[in-house]
């Protein structure tokens, strides 16, 4: 019984460490993009509180990070295969979260028409779509 409790604590600690690592990587990438673009967004709020920027430079900040990760191309078209690949790694130990993430990706792949948007607007719309869909699941 004690081993089971210890294993649960270790798995929870690993999960939290992985989440912190993901946040740290996201923050570092956003910082690099912020330097390139000269945006003034609060990066901690974007990462910790999932704040979606509304300024043009803020939207381009999202696009920069998404493009650097391979999630969108130079025209703002989403690479859903790359996004799913990332999510499968992120949620490898949580089938329920992966299932929800797949539903979000499937929904947003058809809900956002990037062809009528510039890259910055497209990235922003994908993020808004994902956030809104997540709230309904």
> Is 39 a member of any domain?
yes
When pLDDT is cut at 50, 70 and 90, the band that residue 62 belongs to is very high
> Is 13 a member of any domain?
no
> Is 1 a member of any domain?
no
Structural domain boundaries, residue 32:
19-136
Q: How many domains is the chain built from?
A: 1
> Is 3 a member of any domain?
no
Model pTM above 0.85? no
- The CATH code of the domain that includes 35 is 1.10.238.20
Count the Cβ atoms, other than its own, within 10 Å of residue 92: 11
| Greater pLDDT, 17 or 68 | 68
Residues 65/121/113/25 CA torsion (nearest 10 deg): 20
Scan for tokens 């999202």, then name that residue.
62
């Amino acid at each position: 019984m004690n081993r089971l409790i210890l294993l649960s604590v270790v798995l929870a600690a690993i999960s939290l460490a992985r989440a912190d690592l993901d946040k740290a990587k996201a923050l570092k990438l956003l910082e690099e993009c912020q330097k390139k673009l000269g945006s003034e967004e609060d990066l901690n709020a974007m990462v910790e509180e999932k704040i979606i920027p509304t300024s043009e430079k803020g939207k381009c900040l999202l696009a920069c990070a998404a493009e650097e990760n391979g999630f969108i191309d130079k025209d703002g078209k989403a690479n859903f295969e790359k996004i799913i690949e990332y999510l499968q790694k992120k949620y490898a130990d949580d089938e329920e979260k992966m299932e929800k993430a797949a539903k979000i990706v499937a929904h947003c792949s058809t809900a956002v028409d990037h062809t009528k948007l510039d890259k910055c607007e497209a990235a922003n719309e994908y993020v808004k779509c994902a956030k809104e869909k997540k709230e309904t699941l």
